Structure 1
């Protein structure tokens, strides 16, 4: 018995040692927010105060030292995110995740982001301030890699930490540029739809610009075939596997002093990005005797993309311009290594690449390039013999000056300095929003725009052989859409269609007017805006367009075929104000009926795969209001039945299917059919896909207000489940009030840290869902008094 007790004591001791060892190991992986550290290369001491949400406030004697400290603290919270982001353009995700990522790596290697980066670096002025400060930031990252703890993800994947270089910065920006594009989902698909169905079906799609919707107004003034389907499917599949979120859309508005209570500019911005854990932005406040910015940083990028100080504020939305064109190439029938150009036959360029695969053999592949760009047939695993399609992307054409632009924006001290940096952004296309303490408000669309031949639609695959479908000229930046201090006293952007300055429409994949209409409706109605009112507006969940769709469709209901409960529900839907609160029932009925209606209208012609692809495009979003208002048209008839269906037939059938599905999911009581049961948000970490790790790495799920295309744009993909898992939305909500800059407010979707063991991994998640904010502190005394910890670099 004594021997048995001794064995138990020994086992208990071993278990205790293991527990202590695991606890010590886990504790060693946490970010270090306090104490003193050596940071080689800095010229004087740098003090970093971490506020109660883990946001660093970095005080240094010069900007070089501050950027080194920023690199270090950014890396200790987000090194894993930095690692993934820099691997995308170089086709190195398969090294981490195995063979599932091979197609994704193939696709991104073929885009040529990394090759374009190498060209840029070969002609880079290494002595420029932009590069010097970028290198200081990278030195800080590399110091953490050398001497800081290794994040848990590196242990779980078995990959080694590697130093970061300026090449990684440019590749991260290149991924961001491609992430904005929609042409790869749309152009080949539309071409296939036209080839399969004919022009009559395309006439009833919202392809062209709609002059009846809300456009962004310009103002310059001073103050006083199957191939296409397969390509779309393959590209979509490649992007869906990315462990990094994609950029989706955004809202921003800037209100001039004439429309504010305190007579100062108020700035609001909420860029819409795919949700993931960690969230996309890293907040940091940097202060030196000559420079100060409170900024939002992309992983591995030294200069903030969104920022403010006491003089000015700026932010971004996606322009949604068309900067990708697809071209049919014509191979030489007697020499398959050549393709046709207006000047005669030209040799394809053959590019060889090798992908390293975790737990597998290396994958080598070759793709062809023309003067337009990469031929996607091989990349998209097409059937041999299909006509080659090449992708022309403006990002890889001109000299890359985007990093210099970000430096210029973050170092501008007034509107003219700020504007002078914008022409350096050739891609991605951005709406850059601006406001300042002097009372200026402005919006500029930044992109290298080009003019195409009249009557040519860039929404279809173009003719690459004859030269007739080539750009005619590049536009000067002065011809880009913009508004500076307009007489209506505000600027805004909601990814909607801009008006023209250059006497032409700017081709794009603009989102429908829903958010724009609501923003204009609210801003026009009020001339005494303050921070509190703007914070309510940025959380608005009302859709004026969806209620218009309901009003149009309800006219078609044959009430003689509805029972008492259905009539009561229809009556409540008729009186719906378009608000998406958690306990509302109308949103659930609307979206299920809408999906059923679109499916019943279009899937019979398109087929399941093409229909699924259509649902992922901006074109589908534009089609909802447009299509529901069509009283007649070829789409309404179901080609698989002998009868000729009408719009009324489709609407009634769709509502009946909705009712049946809601009873099956939630029971017979319609009061239980509430929005909170279906509209949820979960921030997914790549490791959260493994069920046993989900609760440790993912954040959520939470029921959440909002929906697609309202100001609080918590969007989701449509499918037949009738459950709406939010996939993208505001990546931050920022409000800067120049009457009280030091009390400006913001929020992140989860938390500042990407380290699962940090207390700041998810400490803002519930606040975000609740629509709460926190201060973006800039007052040094307040920062010192409320700091959670202080980290000093010597």
Structure 2
């Protein structure tokens, strides 16, 4: 008995020791939000006040000190995120996650992002403010690597910390530009449709094709999906956020109750943990900016101070083109040009793999860009396909752009900075205390010959399909203080550019129509009105889609349950609220409709069509409004010619049958929240089990849907369960009538450190449509309990 008692006592002591050790470990893992730290290279003391949401308010006597401190505090909250971001473009994810990421690394490392960065960095002027502040920022990050704790993620995957360089900043710029682009998700599929089924099928997708072409046509041959599926797999496996869409509007003084400008912006980005944006407020005697920064970016893409505010949406212009090259039949290291054969540039690329041998591949690059056949394994197309991307072809001034936008003293200075953007294409929104509002479609735009369709593969050998002219920024779509009194952007098609409609991958008009319908008639907007509008979930389009569908439905053939479901759809106002049944019925019906319309032709490419191609969203309303279409007829049925009535009725009946099997006979239980949820996944939490519980945030029921203002996007697929992929990465309202109390919210929290109190403290508020203040008032900021002071490090003699 005494032995048992002793064992129990020792076990109890062991538990205490383990508990104490765990407590000490956790305390050491937390970011340092108060106290004093030394930073080498500081000229003066820097004080950082952390507000109640973990936002650092950095007060310094000069900008170089401020950015050094910013680098340190950014790293202690987001070092793991920085590490992943810098590895993507460099093809170094396999070093962390093993062989499953080799395909991703091979593709990303072959795009030329690093090579373009080397050229840019070699030409950078080292005496410019933008360069000096970027280096100060990097120095702050590297001092945290030396002095700060190692994030738990590094320990879990066995990764050693490495110092950061300016190359890493440009790798993040490159990844950002890649994630904005849509051509790689769309063009291979459209080209396959054209080649296998002909021009008529593309023309019905609103993609006119010139009929004279040198490309082969093997009508109704099976579509090759290797390229399409590989791109989809690569995007799905990326462990950090990709950028999707966005809303923004800026209300001029005549539209607001207080006669001052209000800016609203909510960039739509894939949800992940940590959230994509890191908030910060920097104040020196000559500079102030409350900014939202991506990992490893010294200057904010979203920002405001007491003088001006800016935000962005994705322009969605086409800046990627694919070419079919023609190899020399006697030497496949050469390709045909109008001036004879030229030799491909070739590179040996090495990918390091965790717990496995390195892999080496050869990359070939034509004058247009890298050959995709070498980047995507098992691509069966025997023609060399190259990718031309403006981001890697033209000088990169994004570091200078960030500096100019955040340091502009006037709207003209701001515009001059925006004009330097070449890629990715951005709609930059602007408002200021002088009552100006503006929108600039910022990108280096260019022209090809008339009638050339850039959404299918171009002829690389002829010389006829080359860029003919780069446009001056003055010809880009833009508006300054328009008569309407406001500007807006929702990734919709912009106005004409140089007298033609600029090609792109614009999203449907749903959100744009809803935004303008709410803004146009109202002239007394308050900050709270804008906040309510940003949480709006009503679609102006779905009621039109339903009306056009109902015209084709044979009501007499419906069962009692089907009639009840149809009546629910007819009475629906298009609002995606949690307790409504109509969104559940509608989305299953639309999935069946798209499947029955397009899958027989697209085959394996149908998944990509549903999971990434913007054209799918645009085609829902367009296709439902048609009475005749080549897409209705199923190419796999020989004795039947399907029409709209057949497709719509079969789709509706299939949808109701599916929902009865999925959710039961009681239609009232088919509520939107029974199939719709959001979870913010951490790269390590994706492994599932206890790691999911520790690192992920959620899952939660949520409020919203595809292409409403509170845009919570999901993939329509066979499961009937809709997991939100992306949404507002921040909701942000800057009101110049009350600039000290402008508002924002993040989807989870400010910190990426799992042991920080700011890891997920905003998650519940975000889901409710609530906001927190973005403080600029020093008197209020100084009341914070969390105060971190950076002192110049003592120099040892």
After TM superposition, the score normalised by the length of structure 1 is: 0.96
Give the corresponding residue for 1:392. Answer: 388
Using the alignment, how far apart are the partners of 1:226 and 1:415 within structure 2?
Answer: 54
Determine which of 643, 654, 658 is the counterpart of 2:655: 658
2:609–2:616 contact (8 Å) kept in structure 1: no
Give the corresponding residue for 2:215. Answer: none
Quick check: 1:410 aligned with 2:400?
no
Give the corresponding residue for 1:674. Answer: 671
Could you say what secondary structure the match of 1:680 adopts? strand
Deviates more, 1:475-484 or 1:652-661: 652-661
Shift of 1:227: 8.3
Shift of 1:230: 2.1
Quick check: 1:88 aligned with 2:85?
no
Shift of 1:640: 2.5
Quick check: 1:419 aligned with 2:415?
yes
Quick check: 1:482 aligned with 2:505?
no
Give the corresponding residue for 2:268. Answer: 272
Could you say what secondary structure the match of 1:556 adopts? coil
Using the alignment, how far apart are the partners of 1:554 and 1:313 within structure 2?
Answer: 46
Quick check: 1:354 aligned with 2:332?
no
Shift of 1:384: 6.5
Determine which of 293, 318, 325 is the counterpart of 1:322: 318
Determine which of 456, 460, 464 is the counterpart of 1:460: 456
Could you say what secondary structure the match of 2:652 adopts? helix
- 1:143-154 paired onto structure 2 within 5 Å: 143-154=143-154
1:60–1:66 contact (8 Å) kept in structure 2: yes
Could you say what secondary structure the match of 2:740 adopts? helix
Quick check: 1:437 aligned with 2:430?
no
Using the alignment, how far apart are the partners of 2:607 and 2:261 within structure 1?
Answer: 45
Give the corresponding residue for 1:42. Answer: 42
Aligned length: 778
1:602–1:611 contact (8 Å) kept in structure 2: no
Shift of 1:691: 2.0
Instruction: Describe the shift of the 1:337–1:784 C-alpha distance in structure 2 as closer, same or farther (beyond 3 A).
Output: same
Shift of 1:603: 0.9
Q: What whole-Å deviation, never above 9, does each CA across 1:638-676 have from its counterpart, x for those lacking one?
A: 232322222111111111111111111211111111011
Shift of 1:124: 1.3
Shift of 1:502: 0.7
Shift of 1:633: 1.3
Shift of 1:228: 6.6
Instruction: Describe the shift of the 1:336–1:226 C-alpha distance in structure 2 as closer, same or farther (beyond 3 A).
Output: farther
Shift of 1:615: 4.2
1:227–1:386 contact (8 Å) kept in structure 2: no
Give the corresponding residue for 1:221. Answer: none
Using the alignment, how far apart are the partners of 1:633 and 1:251 within structure 2?
Answer: 33
Using the alignment, how far apart are the partners of 1:716 and 1:208 within structure 2?
Answer: 29
Could you say what secondary structure the match of 2:313 adopts? strand
Instruction: Describe the shift of the 1:208–1:547 C-alpha distance in structure 2 as closer, same or farther (beyond 3 A).
Output: farther
Give the corresponding residue for 1:141. Answer: 141
Determine which of 693, 706, 728 is the counterpart of 1:730: 728
Using the alignment, how far apart are the partners of 2:208 and 2:493 within structure 1?
Answer: 11
2:223–2:602 contact (8 Å) kept in structure 1: no
Using the alignment, how far apart are the partners of 1:649 and 1:398 within structure 2?
Answer: 51
Q: What whole-Å deviation, never above 9, does each CA across 1:279-299 have from its counterpart, x for those lacking one?
A: 100000111111000000110
Give the corresponding residue for 2:782. Answer: 784
Deviates more, 1:94-103 or 1:571-580: 571-580
Give the corresponding residue for 1:704. Answer: 702
Using the alignment, how far apart are the partners of 2:366 and 2:224 within structure 1?
Answer: 18
Instruction: Describe the shift of the 1:755–1:208 C-alpha distance in structure 2 as closer, same or farther (beyond 3 A).
Output: farther
Q: What whole-Å deviation, never above 9, does each CA across 1:471-499 have from its counterpart, x for those lacking one?
A: 11100111111001101110001011011
Using the alignment, how far apart are the partners of 1:788 and 1:599 within structure 2?
Answer: 57
Using the alignment, how far apart are the partners of 2:534 and 2:160 within structure 1?
Answer: 42
Quick check: 1:529 aligned with 2:528?
no
Using the alignment, how far apart are the partners of 2:222 and 2:643 within structure 1?
Answer: 28
Using the alignment, how far apart are the partners of 1:633 and 1:683 within structure 2?
Answer: 40
Runs of 5+ in structure 1 lacking a partner?
210-224
Using the alignment, how far apart are the partners of 1:480 and 1:422 within structure 2?
Answer: 11
1:264–1:737 contact (8 Å) kept in structure 2: yes
Instruction: Describe the shift of the 1:782–1:622 C-alpha distance in structure 2 as closer, same or farther (beyond 3 A).
Output: same
Give the corresponding residue for 1:74. Answer: 74
Using the alignment, how far apart are the partners of 1:138 and 1:113 within structure 2?
Answer: 20
Quick check: 1:539 aligned with 2:539?
no
Using the alignment, how far apart are the partners of 1:322 and 1:780 within structure 2?
Answer: 44
Give the corresponding residue for 1:298. Answer: 294
Quick check: 1:568 aligned with 2:570?
no
Shift of 1:718: 1.3
Give the corresponding residue for 2:601. Answer: 605
Could you say what secondary structure the match of 2:698 adopts? strand
Using the alignment, how far apart are the partners of 1:10 and 1:268 within structure 2?
Answer: 61
Using the alignment, how far apart are the partners of 2:609 and 2:373 within structure 1?
Answer: 18
Using the alignment, how far apart are the partners of 2:147 and 2:738 within structure 1?
Answer: 41
Determine which of 596, 604, 620 is the counterpart of 1:624: 620
Shift of 1:350: 1.0
Could you say what secondary structure the match of 2:782 adopts? helix
Give the corresponding residue for 2:468. Answer: 472
Shift of 1:206: 3.2
1:515–1:710 contact (8 Å) kept in structure 2: yes
1:229–1:610 contact (8 Å) kept in structure 2: no
1:113–1:396 contact (8 Å) kept in structure 2: yes
Give the corresponding residue for 1:215. Answer: none
Give the corresponding residue for 1:496. Answer: 492
2:300–2:402 contact (8 Å) kept in structure 1: yes
Give the corresponding residue for 2:716. Answer: 718
Shift of 1:604: 1.4
Deviates more, 1:557-566 or 1:456-465: 557-566
Shift of 1:611: 4.5
Give the corresponding residue for 2:176. Answer: 176
- 1:9-158 paired onto structure 2 within 5 Å: 9-158=9-158
Instruction: Describe the shift of the 1:189–1:45 C-alpha distance in structure 2 as closer, same or farther (beyond 3 A).
Output: same
Give the corresponding residue for 1:205. Answer: 205
Deviates more, 1:596-605 or 1:271-280: 596-605
Instruction: Describe the shift of the 1:418–1:630 C-alpha distance in structure 2 as closer, same or farther (beyond 3 A).
Output: same
1:285–1:292 contact (8 Å) kept in structure 2: yes
1:330–1:339 contact (8 Å) kept in structure 2: yes
Q: What whole-Å deviation, never above 9, does each CA across 1:707-726 have from its counterpart, x for those lacking one?
A: 11111100001110111100
Instruction: Describe the shift of the 1:476–1:226 C-alpha distance in structure 2 as closer, same or farther (beyond 3 A).
Output: farther
Using the alignment, how far apart are the partners of 1:300 and 1:759 within structure 2?
Answer: 22
